[in-house]
Amino acid sequence: MTALLHTEGLTVAFGGVKACDGISLDVNEGELLGLIGPNGAGKTTFINAVTGFVPWSGRIVFDGGDLDGLPPHRIAHRGLTRTWQSLELFGDISVRANLEVAATKMTPTMAIRDYFGRSQKLAERVDATIEVLEMGEIMEQRPDDLSMGFRKLVGVARALVADSKLVLLDEPAAGLDRTETAWLAEKLRQVIDFGISVLLVDHDMGLVLNVSDRIHVIDFGKTIAIGTPDEIRNDEAVIGAYFGSSGGDA
Amino acid sequence: MEIYLQFILLGLGSGVIFAGLALGLVLTYRASGVVNFAHGAIAMYATYIFSSLLQEGAYPLPALPNPLALVEAMLGWFGIQVDLPDLPTFVQMGDSWPWPAALVIALATAGLIGFLFHYLVFRPLRYQPPLSKVVASVGLMLMLQAGIVIRFSNRARNVDNLLPNDGIDVLGTTVPADRFYLLAVILLATTILYLVFQRTKFGIRTRGAAENEQYATLLGISADRIAAINWILAGILAGLVGVLAAPITGLNPLNMTLFIIPALGAALVARFQSFWVAVWVGLGIGAGQSLLQIMEARLDWVPDINLSQGLPLLVIVIAMMARGQVLPSRGAVERGRLPMALPTRIRPRLMIFWLLFTSVVLIWASFEWRQAMINTLIGAVLALSLVVVTGFNGHISLAQLSLAGIAAFMLASLATDAGWPFPLAPLGAAVVATGFGLLIGVPALRVRGASLAIITLAAGVAIEVFFFKSDGWLAGDSTREVAAPSLFGIEFGPNSPFFLGDGKVPSPAFGLFVLAVLTLIFIAVIRLRQSMLGEQMLAVRANERAAAAAGVNVPAIKLAAFGIASFLAGIGGTLTAYKFGTFNMASFGVLGSLSLFAFAYLGGIATVSGSIYAGSLVSEGIGTLAFEKLFFPLGRYEAYLAGIFLVLTALIQPEGIDVFDRRERRRIGWGFVVLWRKLTRDPDRTKPEWATRIYPKPKPRRPKEAAELAAATGALGEKDPQ
Is the alpha carbon torsion for B186, B188, B194, B200 positive or negative? Answer: negative
Of B311, B306, B382, B458, the C-alpha closest to B611 is: B382
Q: Which residue has the higher pLDDT, B719 or B593?
A: B593
> Distance of alpha carbon B635 from its chain centroid, rounded?
20
Predicted local confidence at residue B721, as pLDDT? 39
Predicted local confidence at residue B579, as pLDDT? 85
| Whether B133 contacts B122, CB under 8 Å | yes
Of B555, B595, B500, the C-alpha closest to B324 is: B555
Side chain identity at B593, as an amino acid letter? S
d(C-alpha B660, C-alpha B604), whole Å: 9
Q: Which residues of chain A have pLDDT under 70?
A: 1, 244-250
d(C-alpha B641, C-alpha B598), whole Å: 10
| Reported confidence tier of residue B388, pLDDT bands at 50, 70, 90 | very high
| Whether B544 contacts B451, CB under 8 Å | no
Within 8 A by CB and 6+ apart from A189, the residues are: A211
Give which of B552, B605, B705, B719 to mutate to test A binding, by max A Cβ within 10 Å: B552
Mean of pLDDT values over B673-678: 59
Taking CB atoms and an 8 Å limit, are B551 and A162 in contact across chains?
yes
Taking CB atoms and an 8 Å limit, are B550 and A102 in contact across chains?
yes
Least confident piece of the model among B105-114, B273-282, B466-475: B466-475
Give which of A73, A141, A228 to mutate to test B binding, by max B Cβ within 10 Å: A73
What single-letter DSSP state applies at residue B339? Answer: P
Predicted local confidence at residue B472, as pLDDT? 52
Q: Which residue intervals of chain B bear CATH 1.10.3470?
A: 2-62+84-323
The H or E element spanning position B173 is strand B173-176
d(C-alpha B121, C-alpha B114), whole Å: 10
- Which A residues in the span 2-21 are in contact with B, Cβ-Cβ below 8 Å? none
Give A167's strand partners: A81, A198
| Whether B247 contacts B54, CB under 8 Å | no
Answer whether residue B415 shows pLDDT above 70: yes
| B153 in contact with A, Cβ within 8 Å | no
| Whether B441 contacts B559, CB under 8 Å | yes
Of B587, B586, B588, B613, the C-alpha closest to B669 is: B613
d(C-alpha B175, C-alpha B173), whole Å: 7
Side chain identity at B676, as an amino acid letter? W
Side chain identity at B332, as an amino acid letter? A
Give the residue from chain A lying closest to B530, CA to CA: A115
Mean of pLDDT values over B649-660: 79
| B586 in contact with A, Cβ within 8 Å | no
Predicted local confidence at residue B717, as pLDDT? 42
Taking CB atoms and an 8 Å limit, are B531 and A146 in contact across chains?
no
Helix (H, G, I), strand (E, B) or coil at B512: helix
Q: Is A242 exposed, middle or buried, given 0-12, 13-18 or 19+ CB atoms closer than 10 A?
A: middle
Mean of pLDDT values over B496-508: 75
Q: What is the CATH number of domain B2-62+84-323?
A: 1.10.3470
The C-alpha angle B401, B404, B405, rounded to 5 degrees, equals: 90
Give A217's strand partners: A36, A225
Taking CB atoms and an 8 Å limit, are B709 and A76 in contact across chains?
no
Taking CB atoms and an 8 Å limit, are A97 and B538 in contact across chains?
yes
This prediction has a pTM of: 0.84
| Whether B458 contacts B265, CB under 8 Å | yes
The C-alpha angle B287, B290, B291, rounded to 5 degrees, equals: 85
Predicted local confidence at residue B431, as pLDDT? 92
| Reported confidence tier of residue B380, pLDDT bands at 50, 70, 90 | very high
The C-alpha angle A164, A168, A172, rounded to 5 degrees, equals: 120
d(C-alpha B233, C-alpha B240), whole Å: 11
d(C-alpha B249, C-alpha B242), whole Å: 9
Nearest CA-CA distance, residue A2 and chain B, Å: 25
Q: Which residue has the higher pLDDT, B698 or B616?
A: B616
Please give the mean pLDDT across all residues of chain B.
80
Within 8 A by CB and 6+ apart from B199, the residues are: none
Mean of pLDDT values over B686-709: 50
| CB contacts, 8 Å: A210 with chain B | 716, 719
Predicted local confidence at residue A248, as pLDDT? 41
- Name the packing angle between helices B39-56 and B99-116 (round to 10°): 150
The H or E element spanning position B531 is none
The H or E element spanning position A12 is strand A3-14
Least confident piece of the model among B173-187, B516-530, B554-568: B173-187
Least confident piece of the model among B276-285, B467-476, B489-498: B467-476
CB count in 10 Å sphere of residue A30? 16
- Name the packing angle between helices B590-604 and B656-664 (round to 10°): 20
Within 8 A by CB and 6+ apart from B623, the residues are: B376, B613, B616, B617
Nearest CA-CA distance, residue B686 and chain A, Å: 15
| Reported confidence tier of residue B303, pLDDT bands at 50, 70, 90 | low
Side chain identity at B268, as an amino acid letter? L
The H or E element spanning position A58 is strand A57-62
Calculate what percentage of chain B has a pLDDT beyond 90: 13
Predicted local confidence at residue B666, as pLDDT? 53
Question: What digits encode the pLDDT tens for the residues B416-440?
Answer: 777 788 888 889 889 999 998 998 8
Answer whether residue B347 shows pLDDT above 90: no
| B721 in contact with A, Cβ within 8 Å | yes
Nearest CA-CA distance, residue B353 and chain A, Å: 25
Predicted local confidence at residue B567, as pLDDT? 95
**CA dist list (Å): B96 to A100, B93, B244:** 69, 8, 18
Answer whether residue B618 shows pLDDT above 50: yes
Nearest CA-CA distance, residue A176 and chain B, Å: 10
CB count in 10 Å sphere of residue B443? 21
Question: What digits encode the pLDDT tens for the residues A40-76?
Answer: 888 888 898 888 888 888 889 988 888 888 888 888 8
| A209 in contact with B, Cβ within 8 Å | yes
| CB contacts, 8 Å: B340 with chain A | 92
d(C-alpha B675, C-alpha A115), whole Å: 39
| Reported confidence tier of residue B42, pLDDT bands at 50, 70, 90 | very high
Predicted local confidence at residue B716, as pLDDT? 43
**CA dist list (Å): B614 to B249, B359, B379, B565, B596:** 36, 19, 7, 16, 8
Q: How many helices (H) and strands (E) does chain A have?
A: 10, 10
Nearest CA-CA distance, residue B465 and chain A, Å: 36
Alpha-helical segments (H) within B484-609: 508-530, 532-542, 544-549, 554-580, 590-604
- Domains defined for chain A, CATH in brackets: 3-243 (3.40.50.300)
Least confident piece of the model among A219-228, B105-114, B385-394, B651-660: B651-660
Answer whether residue B339 shows pLDDT above 80: no
Predicted local confidence at residue B324, as pLDDT? 60
| B366 in contact with A, Cβ within 8 Å | no
Taking CB atoms and an 8 Å limit, are A92 and B710 in contact across chains?
no
